């Protein structure tokens, strides 16, 4: 087969993520308004299943031979018809107003039963061979619930290498030049200037565009900040202390001479934020030695940051390796930074984590 520039994959991924993100937003708003109270299920559960169904149906329509690694399986929906019907009602009503987009995505799903089969198509084991999509329908569930940052994430890997990545971040500022505010992790009350889609294709750079409800605009090129002095950095980390050691991050920042407080936000919105230069570093430092990261939590963000001119590795300075199934078996932690300072950051990360293991 001729080499691909992945333009069709990118177009479909953007539309699928746009449609799925609109669904999650409508779940959040229905929940906030109390119109979802017929079901006992959490809005995260409903949004997760709905978004996964929409993305997989778009992929199956366009790329029927491809494999899919997705976070959810339909078992709970098969056992709970009320939950199934709640999700189905949302899925069948979520359409893009732009007609051409509808046909590109294969139109509406035919039935609730078919929706369950589609959700279960995300059960690939992943691996080092072939075309495999990784989906996280709602990354950052805690952020979603508190009206803060979350992301709808989709990436295409070919032979274990990420070729296309898209992140739908409905609660990040539209503008690439808006600096990160301290309350970015919690405040999504102003919908107006919020909502962005980040994307990247290997070798073609990274882009952002507004998360519109209609036809998507052309992407704007995005770049990591040209940070020459690491002590000027703004660093991002998880809100959840169980996901990344905030104590280790504070020690690392101190040793690097960083004085600004960290910006805490949920989800791969952290990767998008540093890729557009709104922040500089993303530190994810293991809390539990036995936790293995999932590929859908990193594949899109990894490519977007690298295509924006950044470097993404684990805490040992190894590239994230997506070729070992559904998890990042060979990696611990994530350190993403502009190329100019990544080496210096890793030096200090090793120092801080190394001194801990000697205690
Ligand atoms: N102990 C852990 N260490 C690191 N990440 C974790 C841990 N437990 C869960 N996660 C994952 O962190 C991701 C969110 O990260 P962030 O804090 O950056 O928003 C979720 O996808 C979550 O996976 P899961 O959804 O399986 O619980
Ligand atoms: Mg996740």
Q: What is the CATH number of the domain that holds 104?
A: 3.30.540.10
Domain that holds residue 320: 230-358
pLDDT attached to residue 183:
78
> Considering 190, 222, 254, which residue would you say is the last residue of a domain?
222
Whether residues 23 and 151 share a domain: the answer is yes
> Considering 222, 241, 272, which residue would you say is the last residue of a domain?
222
Atom of ligand 1 nearest to the CA of 296: 21
Spatial separation of the C-alpha atoms in residues 84 and 78, rounded to whole Å: 7
Q: Please state, for a pLDDT cut of 70, what percent of the chain lies above it.
A: 95
- Which of 21, 24, 86, 141 is labelled catalytic? 141
What is the band of 181 on the pLDDT scale with cuts at 50, 70, 90?
confident
Q: How far is the CA of 109 from the centre of ligand 2 (A)?
A: 25
Both structure tokens of 186: 């919690």
In this structure, is residue 104 part of a structural domain? yes
Spatial separation of the C-alpha atoms in residues 289 and 331, rounded to whole Å: 11
Is 234 assigned a catalytic role?
no
Whether residues 122 and 209 share a domain: the answer is yes
Whether residues 259 and 337 share a domain: the answer is yes
Q: Residues with Cβ within 6 A of ligand 1? A: 139-140, 238, 240, 242-243, 266-267, 287-288, 291, 297
Is 280 assigned to a binding site?
Answer: no
Cβ proximity of 313 and 330 under 8 Å: no
For residue 142, the ligand closest to its alpha carbon is 1
Q: Which residues surround ligand 2, an ion (CB under 5 A)?
A: 136, 139, 297
Q: Whose CA is nearest to atom 17 of ligand 1?
A: 238
In this structure, is residue 1 part of a structural domain? no
Whether residues 165 and 285 share a domain: the answer is no
Whether residues 218 and 121 share a domain: the answer is yes
For residue 149, the ligand closest to its alpha carbon is 1
CATH code of the domain in which 334 resides = 3.40.190.80
Is 136 assigned to a binding site?
Answer: yes
Handedness of CA 337, 341, 342, 345 (dihedral sign): negative
Is 138 assigned to a binding site?
Answer: yes
Whether residues 172 and 247 share a domain: the answer is no
Model pLDDT for residues 250-279, shown as the tens digit of each residue? 999 999 999 999 999 999 999 999 999 999
Whether residues 285 and 160 share a domain: the answer is no
Task: Work out how many domains the chain is built from and give that number.
Answer: 2
- Which of 24, 45, 48, 176 is labelled catalytic? 48
In this structure, is residue 2 part of a structural domain? no
Is 321 assigned to a binding site?
Answer: no
> Considering 194, 222, 250, which residue would you say is the last residue of a domain?
222
Query: Stretch 45-60: mean pLDDT, rounded?
Result: 96
Measured CA angle at 23 (ends 141, 162), to 5 deg: 65
Pocket test for ligand 1, best of 238, 242, 268, 297 (most atoms within 8 A of CB): 297
Atom of ligand 1 nearest to the CA of 139: 21
Model pLDDT for residues 103-157, shown as the tens digit of each residue? 888 888 889 999 999 999 999 999 999 999 999 999 999 999 988 999 999 999 9
Whether residues 183 and 249 share a domain: the answer is no
What is the band of 344 on the pLDDT scale with cuts at 50, 70, 90?
very high
Whether residues 53 and 185 share a domain: the answer is yes
Q: How far is the CA of 270 from the centre of ligand 1 (A)?
A: 13
Read off the pTM. 0.96
Whether residues 234 and 198 share a domain: the answer is no
Pocket test for ligand 1, best of 243, 265, 301, 334 (most atoms within 8 A of CB): 243
For residue 236, the ligand closest to its alpha carbon is 1
Whether residues 191 and 260 share a domain: the answer is no
In this structure, is residue 101 part of a structural domain? yes
Is 85 assigned to a binding site?
Answer: no
Q: Whose CA is nearest to atom 5 of ligand 1?
A: 243
Q: How far is the CA of 243 from the centre of ligand 1 (A)?
A: 5
Is 48 assigned a catalytic role?
yes
Sequence-ordered list of residues with C-beta below 8 angstroms from that of 282, at least 6 positions apart, any chain: 235, 236, 237, 270, 271, 274, 305, 334, 335, 336, 337
Cβ proximity of 147 and 284 under 8 Å: no
What is the band of 317 on the pLDDT scale with cuts at 50, 70, 90?
very high
Sequence-ordered list of residues with C-beta below 8 angstroms from that of 71, at least 6 positions apart, any chain: 48, 52, 122, 135, 136, 137, 294, 296
ipTM beyond 0.90? yes
């Amino acid at each position: 087969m001729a080499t691909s520039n992945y333009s069709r994959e990118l177009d479909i991924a953007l539309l699928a993520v746009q449609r799925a993100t609109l669904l999650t937003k409508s779940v959040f708003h229905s929940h906030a308004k109390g119109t979802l109270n017929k079901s006992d299920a959490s809005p995260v559960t409903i949004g997760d299943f709905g978004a996964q169904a929409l993305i997989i149906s778009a992929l199956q329509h366009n790329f029927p031979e491809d494999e899919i690694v997705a976070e959810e399986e339909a078992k709970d929906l098969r056992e709970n018809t009320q939950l199934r019907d709640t999700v189905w009602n949302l899925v069948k009503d979520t359409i893009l107003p732009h007609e051409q987009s509808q046909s590109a995505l294969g139109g509406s799903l035919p039935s609730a039963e078919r929706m369950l089969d589609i959700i279960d198509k995300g059960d690939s084991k992943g691996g080092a061979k072939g075309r495999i999509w990784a989906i996280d329908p709602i990354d950052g569930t805690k952020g979603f619930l508190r009206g803060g940052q979350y992301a709808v994430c989709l990436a295409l890997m070919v032979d274990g290498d990420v070729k296309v990545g898209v992140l739908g971040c409905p609660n990040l500022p539209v503008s690439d030049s808006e600096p990160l505010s301290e309350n970015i992790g919690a405040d999504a009350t102003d919908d107006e200037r919020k909502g962005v889609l980040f994307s990247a294709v290997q070798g073609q750079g990274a882009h952002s565009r507004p998360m519109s409800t209609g036809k998507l605009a052309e992407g704007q090129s995005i770049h990591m900040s040209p940070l020459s002095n690491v002590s000027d950095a703004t660093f991002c980390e998880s809100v959840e202390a169980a996901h990344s050691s905030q104590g280790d991050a504070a020690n690392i920042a101190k040793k690097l001479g960083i004085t600004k407080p960290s910006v805490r936000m949920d989800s791969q919105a952290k990767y998008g934020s540093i890729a557009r230069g709104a922040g500089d570093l993303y530190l994810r430092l293991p809390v539990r030695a036995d936790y293995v990261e999932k590929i859908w939590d990193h594949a899109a963000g990894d490519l977007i940051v690298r295509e924006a001119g950044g470097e993404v590795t684990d805490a040992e300075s190894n590239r994230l390796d997506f070729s070992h199934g559904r998890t990042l078996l060979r990696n611990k932690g994530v350190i993403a930074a502009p190329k100019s300072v990544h080496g210096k950051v890793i030096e200090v990360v090793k120092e801080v984590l190394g001194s801990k293991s000697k205690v």
